[in-house]
């Protein structure tokens, strides 16, 4: 039986990227239905990060990079800091409508965290879409569609309703919440619990 996994994340969140590697691994051996939901660490229209915040992030980055390598086996090569992720979220909603939501989300996360690409640029988003078999030749038209921005806002509103104050936040079978970049074993255990305790009618 397929188990739904709803994940609230932001493409520029390092721990969201690390969790994506766990979920990808989980999907390779288990029957899960991944759905990515938008969550903005810096809401759309926020001013650029100030010098103090940039220094804080710079001080924390080496530990995060080391953890990614030792615990997740990935070499972080981060894209530009402080960019707006709203267009990436809009494009993700379009990709989801085309049946490629998970593949596209993984492609964007990889582009930013492994290939140091600027995912606020339409041409980068188009390349991510084309990498998973989508025709994004009209990417600017896609990004301008109000329906996709509305879908992003719906995700953000739902996160507020669920009282999700940070990301990554993964909800298994609409019932089990896993917060943060937990080890793979935690996700596997929660999935097993969801399989053993199906929702009552």
CB under 8 Å, gap of 24 or more: what pairs does 119-123 form? Answer: 119/11, 119/12, 119/79, 119/83, 119/85, 119/87, 119/88, 120/83, 120/84, 120/85, 120/87, 120/88, 122/87
Averaged over 49-67, what is the pLDDT? 92
Instruction: Report all structural domains of the chain as residue ranges with CATH numbers, in order of start.
Output: 3-196 (3.40.30.10)
In whole angstroms, give the CA distance from residue 98 to residue 84.
24
At residue 198, does pLDDT exceed 70? no
At residue 54, does pLDDT exceed 80? yes
pLDDT digits (tens, 9 = 90+) for 128-146: 999 999 999 999 999 999 9
Beta bridge partners of 34: 5
The CA dihedral of 8, 12, 17, 23, to the nearest 10 degrees, is 20
pLDDT digits (tens, 9 = 90+) for 4-46: 999 999 999 999 999 999 999 999 999 999 999 999 998 887 8
pLDDT digits (tens, 9 = 90+) for 143-176: 999 999 999 999 999 999 999 988 999 999 999 9
Phi/psi for 148 (5° steps) reads -80, -35
pTM over 0.85: yes
Number of C-beta neighbours around residue 186 at 10 A: 14
Residue 188 is predicted with a pLDDT of: 95
At residue 201, does pLDDT exceed 80? no
Q: What pLDDT band is residue 197 in, cutting at 50, 70 and 90?
A: confident
Residue 200 is predicted with a pLDDT of: 52
Residue 16 is predicted with a pLDDT of: 96
- Identify whether the C-beta of residue 55 lies closer than 8 Å to the C-beta of residue 114: no
pLDDT digits (tens, 9 = 90+) for 80-126: 999 999 999 999 999 999 999 999 999 999 999 999 999 999 999 99
58 burial type by CB count under 10 A (0-12 exposed, 13-18 middle, 19+ buried): exposed
Residue 48 is predicted with a pLDDT of: 84
Beta bridge partners of 6: 35, 171
């Amino acid at each position: 039986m397929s188990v739904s996994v709803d994940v609230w994340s932001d493409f520029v969140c390092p721990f969201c990227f690390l969790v994506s590697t766990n979920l990808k691994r989980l999907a390779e051996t288990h029957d899960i239905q991944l759905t990515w939901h938008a969550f903005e660490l810096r809401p759309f229209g926020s001013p650029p990060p100030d010098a103090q915040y940039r220094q804080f992030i710079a001080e924390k980055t080496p530990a995060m990079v080391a953890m990614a390598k030792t615990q997740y086996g990935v070499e972080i090569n981060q894209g530009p800091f402080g960019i707006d992720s709203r267009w990436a979220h809009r494009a993700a909603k379009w990709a989801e409508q085309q049946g490629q939501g998970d593949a596209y989300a993984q492609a964007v996360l990889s582009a930013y965290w492994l290939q140091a690409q600027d995912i606020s640029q339409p041409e980068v988003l188009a390349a991510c879409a084309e990498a998973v078999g989508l025709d994004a030749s009209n990417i600017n038209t896609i990004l301008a569609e109000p329906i996709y921005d509305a879908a992003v806002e719906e995700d953000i509103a739902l996160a507020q309703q669920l009282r999700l104050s940070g990301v990554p936040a993964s909800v298994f079978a609409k019932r089990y919440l896993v917060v943060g970049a937990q080890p793979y074993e935690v996700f596997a255990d929660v999935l097993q619990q969801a399989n053993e305790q199906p929702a009552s009618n």
